Amino acid sequence: MGSSSSPSLLLVFLLLLPSFIIAASPFPYHSNKIHIPLAGVKPSGNTLGESKRYEGSSDLVNLRYHMGPVLSSSIKLYLIWYGRWAPSQQSTIRDFLLSISDSSSPSPSVSEWWSTVSLYADQTGANVTRSLTIGGESSNLSLSRGTSLTRLSIQQVISDSIRSGLPADHRNGVYLVLTAAGVDVQDFCRAVCGFHYFTFPSMVGHTLPYAWIGYSARQCPDVCAYPFAIPAYMGRATTAMRPPNGDVGVDGMVSVIAHELAELSTNPLVNAWYAGDDPTSPTEIADLCEGVYGSGGGGGYTGQVASDGAGRQFNVNGRKGRKFLIQWVWSPVLRACAGPNAVN
Ligand SMILES: *[C@@H]1O[C@H](CO)[C@@H](O)[C@H](O)[C@H]1NC(C)=O
Ligand SMILES: *[C@@H]1O[C@H](CO)[C@@H](O)[C@H](O)[C@H]1NC(C)=O
């Protein structure tokens, strides 16, 4: 955390100490746990037999429903741009988000990818919604909460935005805090690339589902923008892929956003769909498929993905001719990782 030795900052640090302790406790924050690829080599030969379509298929995965709600009402996303973003970066991210409900994109599409997420239902029989729109946006170039955020100060950023006019939409709202290059977040790059949770009434005035995702291109692309950057230890066994929208950081974020939205929708209050016995570190539907983007994926190999005329890799199409590379998610029907670009 902050290593500044300025006396006033030290005082602030001491005043914040209780929240640091809370933040360090094993709270049920979801983290997009960093996936360590085992080896950068494509498996040779067809060791996967007939079932290439069903990556990671396993009876050992005990994904269970814990009686809580899923996000079944149409989702309104509120985007909070924290720090300086280029308009082109923002439009790539907006196009991805708006592609989730856009069934007119050519197959394999982002909306087909989301159809696996909407297979999850809650005890009332309500499925995860297929409708996502952008309800509003706010930006703060003045970095009101500094450039080193804790998990709790992300909630303060949401609270600031609501005080400045973003609606507190407790019917349909999902808040996405997107931190720009140069903003450090607790555990960013070391243990997480993004996380989702819900806000506390004491901090924000309401319980609102939210996710944070950071721009990693300057700080740790090999960790959070894989496979557009490759960790050094993977050496020459593999080469980085070319990002479909030309920005390693944004294209890397898109997959983390996809990951967090899939999990947030199926486990918004951390009491619905997850595997494992410990609700303080749930293994959710995208955690189960991290690093898998296509058929044959797993163990450090992304799986089969497509390439455009310029050699940029992608696995789904979105609106306005956009292409994205996003990880697969666990299907409760196939009991395996699934995505629309699966090959037979
Ligand atoms: C809704 O969820 C149920 C239970 O998982 C599933 O069988 C059904 O196919 C889902 N419906 C849609 C439209 O995805
Ligand atoms: C931006 O930051 C300032 C403080 O620097 C704060 O007063 C304001 O509410 C913030 N605006 C938004 C939209 O978050």
Pocket test for ligand 1, best of 119, 120, 131 (most atoms within 8 A of CB): 119
Cβ–ligand 2 contact at 164 (below 6 Å): yes
Question: How far apart are the CA of 202 and the centre of ligand 2, in A?
Answer: 19
Residue from 142, 143, 204 to probe ligand 2 pocket by mutation (most atoms less than 8 Å from CB) = 142
User: Residue 278: pLDDT band by 50, 70, 90 thresholds?
Assistant: confident
Residue 82's pLDDT is 97
Strands 209-214 and 184-185: unpaired
Q: Quick one: pLDDT at residue 280?
A: 83
Give 68-86 pLDDT, tens digit per residue.
999 999 999 999 999 999 9
3-class SS of residue 319: helix
Distance CA 53, CA 294 (A): 9
- 14 burial via Cβ count (<10 Å: 0-12, 13-18, 19+): exposed
**Cβ of 156 below 6 Å from ligand 2:** no
Q: Whose alpha carbon is nearest atom 6 of ligand 1? A: 119
Helix or strand (DSSP H, E) at 176 = strand 173-179
Q: Is 290 in the pocket of ligand 2 (CB under 6 A)?
A: no
Cα 100 to averaged position of ligand 1 atoms, centre (Å) = 17
Query: pLDDT at position 222, please?
Result: 93
Average pLDDT in the 309-324 region? 97
CA of 18 to the centre of ligand 1 (A): 43
pLDDT tens sequence across 318-333 = 999 999 999 999 999 9
Buried residues in 41-69 as b, exposed as e (16+ CB within 10 A): eeeeeeeeeeebbbbbeeeebebebeebe
* pLDDT of 42: 34
According to DSSP, the residues that pair with 270 across neighbouring strands are none
- The model's pLDDT over 176-192, given as tens digits with 9 standing for 90+, comes to 999 999 999 999 998 89
Q: What is the pLDDT of residues 172-230, one digit of tens each?
A: 999 999 999 999 999 999 889 999 999 999 999 999 999 999 999 999 999 999 999 98
Q: What is the pLDDT of residue 38?
A: 34
pLDDT at 55: 59
Percent of all residues in the chain with a pLDDT value above 90, rounded to a whole number: 74
Confidence of residue 59 (pLDDT cuts 50, 70, 90): low
> Which band of pLDDT confidence, cut at 50, 70 and 90, is reported for residue 58?
low
pLDDT tens by residue, 261-271: 999 999 999 99
Answer whether 140 contacts ligand 2 (Cβ < 6 A).
Answer: yes
User: CB–CB of 324/110 below 8 Å?
Assistant: yes
**Ligand 2 contact, 247 CB (< 6 A):** no
Mean pLDDT, residues 50-68 taken together: 69
Roughly what angle, to the nearest 10 degrees, separates helices 7-15 and 17-24? 60
DSSP state, residue 49: T
- The set of protein residues with a Cβ atom below 6 angstroms from ligand 1 is 118-119, 121, 127, 332
Q: Write down the pLDDT at residue 277.
A: 82
